[in-house]
Chains A and B, each alone.
Chain A
Amino acid sequence: MKNGVLTFSSMPSLYSTGVTAGPLEKKKSVFAEQFDKAYEDERCDLSTNEHGHKQLMYDAVMIALSKEKKTIDKIDFFLTGDLVNQMTPSNFTAHELGIPYIGMFAACATSVSSMITAALLADAEQARWLIAGSSSQHNAIERQFRYPLAYGSQKGATAQWTVTAAGAVLIGQHKEGNPSICCATVGKVVDMGMTDPLNMGAAMAPAAMETLSCHLKGHKKTIDDYDTIITGDLGSNGFKIFKALANENGLSHTKNFRDAGEEFYGNDPSFNAGASGSGCSAAVFLSDVYNKLQKREYKRVLLIATGALLSPLTYQQGDSIPCIAHAIEVTMDGVSVY
């Protein structure tokens, strides 16, 4: 039984990335220097938040393409998603790009699920060039899932801040010297009965642990095979719980663990437990981690994006929060397994 475990024998490579962000991220994110483009206006000078959201993703794609001097007509598939109802910002981006489009929803785990699907298409030789990625826009998502922006509600220490950011990556056939995708694990939905939407980290940590265990077991690897194992947006609280779960599951240490959500805004307490959103993992994986791979500071990494699969309706109906985590392994070594 595969149990979600995938190996890509042809090792599709990452060719270039495009990361865009909003004004708050430009000002407050520790990764701001590594973003390709940051806007002064949170709506990207357009009329609504949703339109701005679309612009973030569109620009991220165009930046990734321009770095490799590729034109849109060369791209075979566009795989992306976001958190807005019916993923309309991604849909409108796909319309503007005119590339065959597969909309992907895995909440904040979309960055990795889109990369896994892109790698599958490339490995099956069904595509030469693909764009994968995900995005989020704070205003659009806050109003949909929580409260109007100007509403006064007291957020606790476990609440996270949805980032305004988009990340897109150009994936193609294997190229020596490029970061390449060797294997992945598709996660299962895990629900440990957590019900507080203002404590997503605690809901998502078990899903991350489940996927990490499946990945290590399925690919016969240990945590020391990686320079870093970085999760998407568990936040400071979820990350603490994830590391405790790792200890409970017999992993010897968590020294090389990172979490994009916890690091995104540094130690700024105004963001409570840190960053979240489908743009968070995409922005950090495709800027900081990608740059470190290219500079060979990292040689092999495991990216685990986590997502909470709830809606405002499920919360009102008293349901708990089901979560999922997808993992993808990217390496500078030319080999898939040793």
Chain B
Amino acid sequence: MISIYITSFIVGGLICVIGQLLMDVAKLTPAHTLCSLVVAGSILDGFGLYEPLIDFAGAGATIPITSFGNALTHGALAEAEKHGLIGVVTGMFEVTSSGISAAIIFGLIGALLFTSKGNV
């Protein structure tokens, strides 16, 4: 039970380090960096490698944006296994709806509650 806290910290930190290197060394913008990581998560799940990472690192693998790519692919594959090729399109958002829904709902709530400020 204790070790999941250590592995989540380390794996999560390392994924962020990859992102930082993409920004500082490869000089990618934040948007390009995040897109690269999402695609990487998707490809890793294609090879069946992301789920074992989640088992090992828990939130260290589910919190970074790579898990978004993984979840989309996972949903698509799960549905394709059941219903064939059409499942690739229908299954994607089944597992990821919490992230997108939360972002939209809290985005609007945030706009209702807050005003932007130019503090340094």
A–B touching in complex (CB under 8 Å)? yes
Chain A 14-31 interface mask (CB, 8 Å, partner B; 1/0): 000000001010001000
Residues of chain B contacted by A150 (CB below 8 angstroms): 114, 116-117
**Size range of the chain B interface in the assembly:** under 10
**Do A142 and B120 touch (CB < 8 A)?**
no
Could you tell me the distance between the alpha carbons of A84 and B105 in the complex, rounded to whole angstroms? 31
**Do B120 and A139 touch (CB < 8 A)?**
no
Instruction: State which of B23, B116, B117, B120 has its C-beta within 8 Å of the C-beta of A271.
Output: B120
Instruction: State which of A24, A139, A154, A164 has its C-beta within 8 Å of the C-beta of B116.
Output: A139
Residues of chain A contacted by B99 (CB below 8 angstroms): none
Residues of chain A contacted by B114 (CB below 8 angstroms): 150
**Do A148 and B116 touch (CB < 8 A)?**
yes
**Do A138 and B118 touch (CB < 8 A)?**
yes
Using known A-B contacts A153-B30, A154-B23, determine if residue A270 contacts B116 with beta carbons closer than 8 Å.
no
**Do B118 and A139 touch (CB < 8 A)?**
yes
Residues of chain A contacted by B30 (CB below 8 angstroms): 153
Interface presence of A42 (CB below 8 A): yes
Residues of chain A contacted by B119 (CB below 8 angstroms): 24
Interface presence of A161 (CB below 8 A): yes
Interface of chain B residues 63 through 120 with chain A (CB within 8 A): 114, 116-120
Residues of chain B contacted by A139 (CB below 8 angstroms): 116-118
Q: Which label, helix, strand, loop or mixed, suits the secondary structure of the B interface?
A: loop
Residues of chain B contacted by A28 (CB below 8 angstroms): 120
Could you tell me the distance between the alpha carbons of A164 and B116 in the complex, rounded to whole angstroms? 15
Interface presence of A149 (CB below 8 A): yes
B116, B118, B119, B120: most-surrounded residue (chain A CB, <10 A) = B118
Interface of chain B residues 8 through 23 with chain A (CB within 8 A): 23
Residues of chain A contacted by B23 (CB below 8 angstroms): 154
Write the chain B residue with the least CB distance to A265.
B120
Write the chain A residue with the least CB distance to B117.
A149
Residues of chain B contacted by A271 (CB below 8 angstroms): 120
Could you tell me the distance between the alpha carbons of A142 and B120 in the complex, rounded to whole angstroms? 12
**Do A149 and B118 touch (CB < 8 A)?**
yes
Residues of chain A contacted by B118 (CB below 8 angstroms): 22, 24, 42, 138-139, 142, 149, 164
What would 22 A/B residue contacts be, using CB atoms closer than 8 Å?
Answer: A22-B118, A24-B118, A24-B120, A28-B120, A42-B117, A42-B118, A138-B118, A139-B116, A139-B118, A142-B118, A143-B116, A148-B116, A149-B116, A149-B118, A150-B116, A150-B117, A153-B30, A154-B23, A161-B120, A164-B118, A270-B120, A271-B120
The 7 closest A-B pairs by CB, nearest first: A149-B116, A139-B118, A138-B118, A270-B120, A42-B118, A150-B116, A149-B118
